[in-house]
Amino acid sequence: MAQLDPQQVLDAYIAAVYAKDVEAFVDLYDDQVSVFDMWGEWTYQGVEAWRGMVTGWFGSLGNERVRVEMQDVQTVLTDQLALIHATVTYSGLSAEGVKLRSMQNRLTLVCQPKNGGWKIIHEHSSAPADLTTSKVILQR
Amino acid sequence: MAQLDPQQVLDAYIAAVYAKDVEAFVDLYDDQVSVFDMWGEWTYQGVEAWRGMVTGWFGSLGNERVRVEMQDVQTVLTDQLALIHATVTYSGLSAEGVKLRSMQNRLTLVCQPKNGGWKIIHEHSSAPADLTTSKVILQR
């Protein structure tokens, strides 16, 4: 099995979100994925739970789109397991492409070869919380 | 290199926190570790930055101690890289051992063999944020 091409995973994530393509998004993940997501839920266990999150997210966007940019990307690649972590900027765009708002998350992805391709088996996204207010800090 | 024993890493983490032993805690981490921590900072890059966090944490405890418990532990182990993720309960104990408060985090650890032993090369801890208040939810 060839090593993971991390840029390919990140580009596919960016493209699926921009296209609001649930199937392309879900296809990045293993059936048994466990996700520690930024918002609301403690854990999404399995790709069907995760599909529910992304279906709701994309469905809530109306005629807006989300542009994703990856910064501070670091990777550790082996034949059997791969780590990617990054700072992600999510920008909400109007139907005309005007930037309406943006926020940043810290993203950790762990990928494993499955049936001849690499799949995300664990994702953890978050922003640090302010010790005084307990509110998350959404800009680096 | 033998595969990682995840229980050994978790037990060593629990023991170092309970003992407030900065050196034992820091020894779990690689020099080049990158940490996405729950509180305050976007990233700790390198073990010296992380030593600063833990020195401040343990130093702030006075005569209290912190008991750590790991639940929902899942692991993916290979010869070259290992993933551990869990729900962590941190309980503040009085000098007499009485539980004063507790909170839960989601914890991701990625470990790599370094100089004959396994070290944590990436850590991500967080709690999910409430979409309405932006406050973190500190109980599963």
Per-residue pLDDT of chain B (140 residues; tens, 9 = 90+): 688 999 999 999 999 999 999 999 999 999 999 999 999 999 999 999 999 999 999 999 999 999 999 999 999 999 999 999 999 999 999 999 999 999 999 999 999 999 889 999 999 999 999 999 999 999 99
The domains of chain B are located at 6-126
Contact check, Cβ <8 Å, A130/B79: no
Contact check, Cβ <8 Å, A135/B134: yes
A73 at interface of B, judged by CB pairs closer than 8 A: no
Query: How many C-beta neighbours within 10 Å does residue A54 have?
Result: 20
Rounded CA separation A74/B84 (Å) = 19
Contact check, Cβ <8 Å, A108/B106: no
Going by the DSSP 8-state scheme, the letter that residue A4 receives in this structure is: P
Q: What is the pLDDT of residues A87-140, one digit of tens each?
A: 999 999 999 999 999 999 999 999 999 988 999 999 999 999 999 999 999 999
Question: What letter represents residue B102's amino acid?
Answer: S
A57 at interface of B, judged by CB pairs closer than 8 A: no
The CATH number of domain B6-126 is 3.40.640.10? no
Q: What is the pLDDT of residues B1-13, one digit of tens each?
A: 688 999 999 999 9
Contact check, Cβ <8 Å, A85/B41: no
A38 at interface of B, judged by CB pairs closer than 8 A: yes
pTM (2 decimals)? 0.97
Instruction: Kindly list the residues from chain B whose CB atom is less than 8 angstroms away from the CB atom of residue A110.
Output: 76, 83, 108, 110
Which strand ranges, in their side-by-side order, compose the sheet holding A82-93?
A44-45, A29-36, A117-126, A99-114, A82-93, A65-77
Nearest CA in chain A to B137: A40
